[in-house]
Structure 1
Amino acid sequence: MIRRVLGPCLPKVNGFFAALALAGCSAFSPEVPEEIQQANPDNLPKSTITNFDEALVCMDDLMVIHEVPSLYLASQGIENLTSDRSISTGGKEMLITALAKMSTRSKAVRFVSYGVDIRDILDLQAAHPDKADFRAPDLFIRGGVTQVNKNLWSGQRGSGASLVFDDGQLTDGGTFFILKGEEDLTGSYSLNSGYGTVTVDMSVGHIANLQIIPGIASSNTLALKHQEGTAITADLTIGDFGFSYSFTDTESLDFNTVFRSLIQVGTIEIIGKLHNVPYWRCLANAGSVSTRSAALRERFNELGTAEDRSALYRFVQTALRDAQYYLGEVNGSFDLPTRTALQTYQQRHGLLATGLIDFETFRLMNLFTPSRDVPYIPWWDADLRQAPRTPAAATNGKKG
């Protein structure tokens, strides 16, 4: 009896419960993708690394090789000079970190931390109670973010579709018509991304007369694909019941990472010019590490699996000796002094200091060669002749 009474309504009742079930499935809180959690853990501090950290260590080795004297520097800061307030005010701290990383072994740069007014440093030196030990800086670095274009390019692509199961019935409601019994499904899918640029200018001047040194400057622009997103929507109508579903997944990158990278590149250029060392050796491959690594791995596998590994050992000994990590003979023997020097090299470059020749160590020794313009292992000679002398990302930098 009940079934006969409710019989005409069962499709609508079933549609109602189906809509409830779908709504329940979509009510869960969105989960952060695993790869994002691994790159940005919430339970453990993580070192801030850019594509140019390895170039900073390369510069340190380069200045060890050339035995450069120490430069005493100060800075008023690397400020954000644009109207974009999302750029960090911590440029000076980023500069200090970059200088520290590139002078660990060489001691080629000594940063004198002082206030914002460079002119007061000389007054402080005269009045300092321990002025015999106080060393006023000789030079100062100044600069800032001069251009920001977060909307250099943006794009969206998408598509949509609909499917009608039942057109329903149009009935006259007097004042207006009423559509009843309609059953349809509609959906859409879209992708979007954004691309922007940041420019940083830096220069150097003398503390004594506050004059900027001609030719000792850096101006670089770096781009960032800062946003990437996906959006999905769906609508289901069954008679008088309806269900809507939406899904969005957007990842945004911070332009301050670009700011830090540009400070690192500018610091390498400026210090390299001041010390008159071939700093471009450390920048030549910094912007193309990932593309070169695949070809280099093939060469590493050839040398690493050969019966006679003396060629690989001689390469490692030569690279370590050139950078003054190893003081022994290049004899093709993987002896204790070689392994000890290799451990020191790995530790300095932030690698696992095993003393073994792994691919990451092999890669660094060939991509960042402070003592020469060509790699130790010729695996991309043809490509090398076409490679730019400055990193691909630093579009405006020029070798001085």
Structure 2
Amino acid sequence: MKILHIITSANPKNGGPIQGIRNYESALHLLGVQRSLLSFDSPEAILDWNFPSTLKVIGLGQSKTGWQYNKLLMPWLENNIANYDRVVLNGMWTYHTYATLKAIKKLKNYNSSLSIPKVFLMPHGMLDPWFQKDETRRIKAVRNYFYWYFIEKQVINNVDGLLFTCKEELLLARTTFSGYKPKQELNIGYGIVEPPVCSKDLLEGFYNQFYISRDQPYLLFLSRIHPKKGIDLLLKAYHQKLTEMELADDLPHLIIAGPGIETDYGKQLLRYLAENPILQNRIQFVGHLSGDIKWGAIYGCDAFILPSHQENFGIAVAEALACSKPVLITTKVNIYREIEIGGGGIVNEDTLEGTYKNIAQWISLTDEEKELMCRNAQSVYKKYFNIENAAKKYFKVMTASK
């Protein structure tokens, strides 16, 4: 089976969708799937991103405008799309979804006997009602409202099916826009690759790069520096708990990893630290982490924390579980039910109070209770988010959709 993925950018720093595509490659290749990835990146940039050799990556060059218009996409699709058995559109609200269906319609009108692949769309959480309701997104919400009725609704209702990473994402997608009537809603699950085995070299690589004491426990936040991630709540909740404690050393330090500290939101967080000196030796921003350094950061932490307001899946959450690290998350992380049922972490609301509870409940656990939660975290990963199982489910959905 040949599958074509289309995405606006294949830059690994974007995380989420592109990381998921990379994660699945080895397991799907073993199942006999040949995949190509078409993106709006320059061919030169793609060479620097170290994709698996079995994944054919095609860069059409940079697109234009916020809509990601690319004049090369339609001609490429008209000449090549019939070479694939399935097409998966990753993400929404940009030119690639509209152009793909337009190209297929044009081909069918030109030659009704031509073999055209089934087309699926993976929203990656972009149908979550949070994007329409959050106050910081009012202008974008109005834009999406009109775009939905004029363009995207037709895309959603005309592709052969929508692919969701978990049941919660599927259910939330039904609540956002009227006129939502897809042909199929398919919960295909999601998985991550098995992490490398923990070693002294992994840990030392992280500790040495950021001058972190081997003996200092820490909580790890690993995601983009973005308002959606609730980092402002995390700093305030941590500050609140620290000032309440008689022995500050009983509270682990906090390490915040991820790109985006140069943004307005990132600068706001740094100002908060500057205004509260008590925090400055306890909270450290370390920037974007990848490869062995990332795994060293995860293995070295006491627990992973993500007070997100909206998280379609949370690849970093699953990675922490795979490393036997409990996760302190919110009910807005869509895989929270699996984690809560399996006892692999602590779940509260995406509020200041909820974030405070996550920290307070974690440090109140006994060593035995923490060790049990670590074992549970690994069990949750194996049951729900193992890449081999997820790839088999994905393959079954693709082959069954004839």
The structure showing larger relative contact order (alpha-carbon pairs under 8 Å, at least 6 residues apart) is: 1
Shorter-normalised TM range: under 0.3
The normalised TM-score by structure 1 is 0.27
* TM-score between the two structures when normalised by the length of structure 2: 0.27
Higher strand share: 1
